[in-house]
Amino acid sequence: MVRKSGSTIGDSITAVQAGRVGFGPNAVSHDRIESYFRRYKATGAQDKIEVCDFGDGAGKKHCKMGWNWRLAEASDAKYGVKSAYLNCGIGSTASGPTMPRPGIAGGLYPERLDTVLATRPDLVVLAFGMNERGSDRTGPNTAELIKRFQAIGATVTVMGVPKVNGCMWKDGRCPPWEKTNAILERTAAEDHAAFVDPRLIDLGPAPRHWCSSNNYNHPGISELLIYGQALASAVE
């Protein structure tokens, strides 16, 4: 069985973190249930999430709820490989080269990017945009990220920005969200990367229930599954 690696670089939706994480992959605070899913605690839904022991000393505190886990599973099934999923997400970050607060470094921040490049991934999922909706810098930043990863031989998929909560919509429109997804789609096409388009995904519930993990910009349990299935379809 061949072992393949997939790195994901993005914001809190990628990280699913509880506590601070560094620039490297799979920190003890990555893929945790306590913070990202805390809104579900009162209803008992958080307790129904399957927890895992990743062998890093945290015990059964980790989960495989992030959308990239669905991609890893699909890759394993289709190609008969064993994927090493490398979560390099950092909450509250955007795609640019700056570090506005300690540890909160953008995707192009040199130390962060070099750390992810050093993992030499076969596949990379870029998932920035939620924290920079409407920005004109998203396109150039994403193009540079795509080129940097392609230069080391990685296949790149760009994940669009999930549908934000209905509180940010008016008359069926959310212009900043629409703009950023249009930019990401165009950039991915121009630079020969795949693109997963959340604009085409039917989440089922009404907009007021979108991003139900925090009722703002964090997709909830069922949403992550749906987005993950869309991402996985890239290899099916």
The pLDDT assigned to 79 comes to 87
Q: Which two tokens stand for residue 112?
A: 């962060």
Beta bridge partners of 196: 159
Strands (E), 63-212: 82-87, 123-127, 155-159, 194-196
Question: How do residues 206-218 score in pLDDT, each as one tens digit?
Answer: 999 999 999 999 9
Report the Cα–Cα distance between both ends of the chain, in Å, rounded.
19
Domains of the chain: 3-232 (3.40.50.1110)
Is 142 within 8 Å of 136 (Cβ atoms)? no
Among residues 96, 116, 164, the alpha carbon closest in space to that of 8 is found at 116
Residue 1 confidence (pLDDT): 41
Q: What is the pTM of this model?
A: 0.96
Sorted by sequence, the CB contacts under 8 Å of residue 66 that are 6+ apart come out as: 8, 13, 14, 16, 31, 87, 89, 224, 228
> Per residue in 9-62, pLDDT tens?
999 999 999 999 999 999 999 999 999 999 999 999 999 999 999 999 999 999
Contacts of 65 by beta carbon, 8 Å cutoff, 6+ apart: 16, 31, 33, 36, 37, 49, 221, 224
pLDDT tens column, 129-179: 999 999 999 999 999 999 999 999 999 999 999 999 999 999 999 999 999
Task: Say what the pLDDT of residue 2 is.
Answer: 54
What is the distance between the alpha carbons of residues 124 and 158, in angstroms, rounded to a whole number? 8
- CA 99 to chain CA centroid, Å, is 19
pLDDT score of 3 more than 60 = no
Which structure tokens are listed for 106?
Answer: 């953008």
